[in-house]
Structure 1
């Protein structure tokens, strides 16, 4: 099985070293780049933009702010899934981090074993939200949000709504195609149309939209 290519960025050299050593013992993970300096990551990405699958990113660093690194990566290498692991983790910023395109937002005290499982989950599904985070997101969604207008030109079709539900349930394009008896390419086309219609850039944004529009419920999506 192909390994998940990891990059580590944290200004604490000890953390980088320990995580690298830990991950390299796992048969599915390969640390292809590690640094304590965000600018070194930019240089690496200029030469090898497709070399990284998942980036573990700290927020507060000496040379450059983690949010600036996130913005750069999402702009220049949008296929890289970014998991923010920070000592500045706070519930009230989960919505902001999700909106900014992170694939996961975790506290720094997380177990490396749990982190390994989350990395694999993110690589397969594109994002990670646990039940507590889903509860927080629901609280951060305005209760005054409008219901979908089905007569709008931009209204989702029945097939698109079907695909939205399956994406929210973390199904891959291949799995959706098999369930709906359509090609993976057709699924990707529907997915891109949906993203364009509702103005989101990733599955995490899609989940927030689907919750707001009551296409899915929190109870249906909660991870156990």
Structure 2
């Protein structure tokens, strides 16, 4: 059984040599034990049912059959307590948008150092988000910057209140409405109203737009 300060991991990649490499890389990190591993999405779901102690799943993005995004979505629906970190060679906008859309907590490139990878795992396990600098840059590059003076005026007028900023930070940490209400000592109905206002003010239709706004305004790291 893991100790209270350990973060049991699930490693998933369709290349066994990659999984073994990750295990070797993390072996000296005593707080990051590898509790299970898998080489496909189906296998990952099987081992998750056998390892309730897993706190963070590190998933390859591009796998045959069930993709990393599809696996992440299924895990989020079935095991909402598990935090998901995507590990990939790619950081194009389409891939990053899909990852954010399904509620993953982090996105790290396979070129990351041991220090960055282990740090990212600890960050997402603590309820925060982590994106490699290249991934964050991809998100920022695809933000629509107001071009006209009138648009800039509208953008200034739609700045978030302090309360809305608090709620946006908690949304980015994947807090549910009830959890946000409990944390901020307000009603769920008030949270829902704030959430709608945030979507309107940031001109967002989903969590992708909210993450873009939060990153640009340095509301999350």
Would you call these one fold, judging by a TM-score over 0.5?
Answer: yes
- Residue in structure 2 matched with residue 180 of structure 1 by the alignment: none
- Residue in structure 2 matched with residue 119 of structure 1 by the alignment: 121
- Residue in structure 1 matched with residue 96 of structure 2 by the alignment: 94
Q: How many pairs align?
A: 198
Change (3 A) 1:163 1:39: same
Residue by residue over 1:62-102, the C-alpha shift from the partner in whole angstroms, topping out at 9 and shown as x without a partner, is: 44322221121111112211111112332553233212212
Q: Is the 8 A contact 2:12 2:60 kept in 1?
A: yes
- Residue in structure 2 matched with residue 39 of structure 1 by the alignment: 42
Q: Is the 8 A contact 1:55 1:82 kept in 2?
A: yes
Q: Is the 8 A contact 1:58 1:66 kept in 2?
A: yes
Q: CA deviation at 1:188?
A: 7.5
| Secondary structure in 1 matching 2:86 | strand
Residue by residue over 1:10-57, the C-alpha shift from the partner in whole angstroms, topping out at 9 and shown as x without a partner, is: 011111112113323212111111111221211123344x42211111
Q: Is the 8 A contact 1:8 1:55 kept in 2?
A: yes
Q: Is the 8 A contact 2:97 2:208 kept in 1?
A: no
**Distance (whole Å) between structure 2 residues aligned to residue 33 and residue 188 of structure 1:** 38
**Distance (whole Å) between structure 2 residues aligned to residue 6 and residue 188 of structure 1:** 33
Q: CA deviation at 1:103?
A: 1.4
* Runs of at least 5 residues in structure 2 that lack an aligned partner in the other structure: 176-180, 200-205
- Residue in structure 2 matched with residue 181 of structure 1 by the alignment: none
**TM-score (norm: length of structure 2):** 0.69
- Residue in structure 2 matched with residue 197 of structure 1 by the alignment: 195
Residue by residue over 1:204-224, the C-alpha shift from the partner in whole angstroms, topping out at 9 and shown as x without a partner, is: x76842764xxx67353475x
- Residue in structure 2 matched with residue 59 of structure 1 by the alignment: 61
- Residue in structure 1 matched with residue 27 of structure 2 by the alignment: 24
Change (3 A) 1:148 1:53: farther
- Residue in structure 2 matched with residue 73 of structure 1 by the alignment: 75
Q: CA deviation at 1:187?
A: 2.8
- Residue in structure 1 matched with residue 210 of structure 2 by the alignment: 209
Change (3 A) 1:197 1:30: same
Change (3 A) 1:24 1:160: same
| Secondary structure in 2 matching 1:4 | coil
Which segments of structure 1 move beyond 6 Å, counting only runs of 4 or more?
none
